[in-house]
Structure 1
Amino acid sequence: MSQQLAVELDRSSPVPLYYQLAQAIEGSILGGTLAPGDRFENELALAKRLNLSRPTTRRAIQELVDKGLLVRKRGVGTQVVQSPVHRPVELTSLFDDLARAGQNPSTKLLEYTVGLPGEEVARELNVSPDSEIVTIRRLRSTKGEPLALMTNYLPVDLAPDPAELEGQGLYQSLRTKGVHIRLARQRIGAKAAERDEAQLLDEKVRAPLLTMNRTAFDDSGKVVEYGAHVYRASRYYFDTTLVDR
């Protein structure tokens, strides 16, 4: 059955009604009132029940489809999909953030190799081109859905055992070695999904992906790891807080 959501609209407010409706629905999804897989009330019935025009209701629903919170399926109607993961921009690992949020993260180790770094990786790790490093590539999922494809490069002496990486996060493994990450330089961007990325992340080729490159340093200022990660833009976003100085 379709879920009927209790919505209160302030018709005297300057905030557009479509936006009020979209915010109410989004709050119910993020708050768990509407769960992934729930069928949502059809557009016409919702408009009639709330005494709204159909274009207003359609625009509110489209806002949430564009955000990846609702999906329209032929023959099924509108359904709630898994809510996107939002992550504060802090010096933490994705695994730790997901675990704290109750997202049940899981990891598949795709690559674990020892070899020489390329020019960019050698520069970021501050090592010579003939120094051996470990390359780790992992697929991180949450609630059974792929979320991020992560490639990390570390000095050989700091790299955790492969078996550790499917049961816990990289930073947690480093902490058990006595490594404390104190500082990181991070760059966030975007790209179109390449064929192998699209296949692993269950996206279409050239779908938008968020990117995050991070170089992390320990207490002594030594480079600990360099990571190049891509995230599904439909399932993931970063939160930042801006302060006026």
Structure 2
Amino acid sequence: MDRSSPVPLYYQLAQQLERAVEQGELPPGERLGNEIALAHRLGLSRPTVRQAIQLLVDKGLLVRRRGVGTQVVHSRVRRPPALSSLYDDLEAAGGRPGTEVIGNRVEPAPAEVAAALGVPEGEDVHRVERLRLTHGEPVALLRNHLPLGLLPVLTAQLESTGLYRAMRGHGITLHSAHQRIGARAATAGEAALLTEAPGAPLLTMERTTYDDTGRAVEHGTHLYRAARYAFDFHLLVRP
């Protein structure tokens, strides 16, 4: 701790604990011990430790459980601004991704989906809805529409791998995508699936992906738990 720094001690401690969680030094399920013992070990006041812990509880990295104490939940999912699937990103980060397929059916394309995929409105398309989990905890609700006949859309395969990996396995070369990120409040149904309270903030992502011929191969509308998810960007100053 740098006591000469203008950065408050509670915030310095919170940053150190967050880095330890992100780097796996404090794995999921790890107990932090009680505030008094932690304050004594670090040479800090109990209110300082309590404030640092509360900051990470609010971020969703720690949880307080009666009779258990303060435990690490999971690190926040961080994704680069690249054309990749959430499944692959979670797997690369050691997040043990899982999938629950909620829906897998053919339906007429609504206007927005038809425009994105470049097909007539009302033409049959494949609609897939999945709940993506990491360490058994839901982090995202994914809805994707694909042109009919693009590839076999098998529920068993979707439960064991990501959609982009399945596409590549069928010879589809992903080239580029147009993506829009926003935010909104969770509906009651979405909140129940994502284990959030109704009205909780959710990150939204709408993406249309193209192959190397310029053909639209999927249109996705995804919802992410704001406390468990973040995009990382590297920005350069425009000359």
* Bin of the TM-score, shorter chain as denominator length: over 0.9
Residue 64 (structure 1) aligns with: 56
Residue 107 (structure 2) aligns with: 115
Distance across 1 between alignment mates of 2:41 and 2:166: 53
The one of 133, 154, 174 equivalent to 1:141 is 133
Deviation at 1:47, TM superposition (A): 2.7
Distance across 1 between alignment mates of 2:121 and 2:42: 65
Deviation at 1:242, TM superposition (A): 0.9
Contact 1:36 1:80 in 2 (8 A): yes
Instruction: Kindly provide the CA deviation profile for residues 27-56 of structure 1, in whole angstroms up to 9, marking residues without a partner as x.
Output: 222222222222213223333333323332
Residue 47 (structure 2) aligns with: 55
Distance across 2 between alignment mates of 1:212 and 1:90: 13
What are the within-5 Å matches in structure 2 for residues 97-116 of structure 1?
Answer: 97-116=89-108
Deviation at 1:167, TM superposition (A): 1.8
What are the within-5 Å matches in structure 2 for residues 190-229 of structure 1?
Answer: 190-229=183-222
Distance 1:130 1:31, change over 3 A: closer
Residue 5 (structure 1) aligns with: none
Contact 2:110 2:122 in 1 (8 A): no
The one of 80, 105, 116 equivalent to 1:124 is 116
Contact 1:188 1:210 in 2 (8 A): yes
Residue identity over aligned pairs, in percent, reads 56
Residue 154 (structure 1) aligns with: 146
Gaps of 5+ in 2: none
Deviation at 1:185, TM superposition (A): 0.6
Q: Could you state the TM-score of these two structures normalised by the residue count of structure 2?
A: 0.92
Contact 2:110 2:121 in 1 (8 A): yes
Deviation at 1:81, TM superposition (A): 1.1
Q: Could you state the TM-score of these two structures normalised by the residue count of structure 1?
A: 0.90
Deviation at 1:68, TM superposition (A): 0.9
Deviation at 1:93, TM superposition (A): 0.8
Gaps of 5+ in 1: 1-8
Contact 1:184 1:216 in 2 (8 A): yes
Q: Do structure 1's residue 20 and structure 2's residue 12 form an aligned pair?
A: yes
Secondary structure in 1 matching 2:39 = helix
Q: How many residues align?
A: 237
Contact 2:183 2:201 in 1 (8 A): yes
Distance 1:241 1:160, change over 3 A: farther
Residue 6 (structure 1) aligns with: none
Contact 1:160 1:174 in 2 (8 A): no
Residue 65 (structure 2) aligns with: 73
Tell me the amino acid that sits aligned with residue 113 of structure 2. Answer: V
Contact 2:35 2:50 in 1 (8 A): yes
* CA RMSD between the two structures: 1.6
Contact 1:160 1:173 in 2 (8 A): no
Instruction: Kindly provide the CA deviation profile for residues 58-108 of structure 1, in whole angstroms up to 9, marking residues without a partner as x.
Output: 221122111111112233322211222111121111111112122121212
Distance 1:217 1:104, change over 3 A: same
Q: Do structure 1's residue 235 and structure 2's residue 219 form an aligned pair?
A: no
Deviation at 1:171, TM superposition (A): 0.8
Deviation at 1:215, TM superposition (A): 0.6
Instruction: Kindly provide the CA deviation profile for residues 145-178 of structure 1, in whole angstroms up to 9, marking residues without a partner as x.
Output: 1121111001002143313211211111111222
More displaced 10-residue stretch of structure 1: 17-26 or 71-80: 71-80
Instruction: Kindly provide the CA deviation profile for residues 109-159 of structure 1, in whole angstroms up to 9, marking residues without a partner as x.
Output: 211111211111111112111321111111111111112111100100214
